[in-house]
Amino acid sequence: MQTAIEIAQVDHQLIVRLNQAWIKRAAVCSPDKAQINEVFDPARPDYPECMVPFFHHPTFQALSDELKSKVVTWGWIGYNLRTVTAEELVVNPALSVIANQYLGKDDWHFREAMQQTLIDEHYHTLMHLRAIERTKRDRALDQDLELPPSVTYLRLKALREELPEPWQRDLAAITFAVVAEISVNAYLDLLADDPTIQPQNRRVAELHNRDEYAHSKVLAEVAKVMYANMQPVQREFFARNLSVALSAFIAQDYSMWEAILTQLGVEDAQAIIADTRESNRNATIMRDYSGLHKLAQDLGISEQIDFDFRPTLKATAAA
């Protein structure tokens, strides 16, 4: 079996530097920096209006300002809920499997990096749960909406249910986690850099994003070591299901927005969603897949991946 060096040049020193910087860089290690103390401004939206896929639809624009504001606020809450689901049900279990099953005894720095990343991710869950409660309190929301899981999570769940072997189910989750961690920055950049939204919400995205820039580098190097430690059948499975994960993360998903519109009593909710789906038919979700494209090249599996990277390297936020 090929070694890690034969498969791809692993940057051990990068991992060492990231591990050493963790105590200064990570949000969880910097209590003062991690505090969300920005003042609530009721006039600002909670979520970027440009990221509400139907914001400029004439039927939506005809609604009262109060109702439009509430839809945008629930978009922010829904984003946070989906982030918590991704952390707790996809990323964290997968990172634990990597640390305990796919890293050898001589891979201490990589195991250390995995544990640091897991701590970060658990803290992100807390950050986003706090953001939800703070928003509900600040906006005096008196109802709870039932919002569906993302299509990405549902596709992973369905895939795992079809797989007969535990190692296959674990590795499927790992492919989704690798895609999530190496491509999420483009989406977080939009939130962190948007001066129009609530300062406290922008701060949540900024703190999360800072950690994820380190995580994307960690996961790219860890994936090389992990791949080197796999058996041939596992390598083939990893490459094949990386295609599935890549496609799942750019799939159009309006289920959350439809649920928000419907449960808030927007009468033409289905028509708004249908028009939006049609107008955005050829758009893709904001993901930067350049890091994953490079990883596939480094591992020598580009030809095994059934996915066109070109439209996703500079995608737009469509949903």
Give per-residue pLDDT as tens, 175-228: 999 999 998 888 899 999 999 999 999 999 999 999 999 999 999 999 999 998
**Range of weakest confidence among 14-18, 102-106, 196-200, 261-265:** 102-106
Is the pLDDT confidence value at 2 over 60?
no
**Cα distance from N-terminal residue to C-terminal residue, the chain:** 43
What does the angle CA 203 – CA 208 – CA 210 come to, to the nearest 5 degrees? Answer: 95
What is the average pLDDT score of the chain? 89
pLDDT of residue 6: 53
- The answer to whether 280 and 53 are in contact (CB under 8 A) is yes
Spelled out in words, what is the top-level CATH class assigned to the domain 63-139+149-312? mainly alpha
d(Cα 220, Cα 226) in Å, to the nearest integer?
A: 10
Is residue 168 pLDDT above 80, yes or no?
yes
* Residue 85: other Cβ atoms inside 10 A: 17
In angstroms, the CA 255 to CA 265 distance is: 16
Handedness of CA 240, 164, 101, 1 (dihedral sign): negative
pLDDT at position 150 is: 94
The encoded tokens of residue 221 equal 């190097």
Helix 199-228 crosses helix 166-183 at what angle (to 10 degrees)? 130
Q: What percent of the chain has pLDDT over 70?
A: 91
- Other residues' Cβ atoms within 10 Å of the Cβ of residue 126: 14
Give the separation between CA 219 and CA 107, rounded to whole angstroms. 14
pLDDT at 5: 40
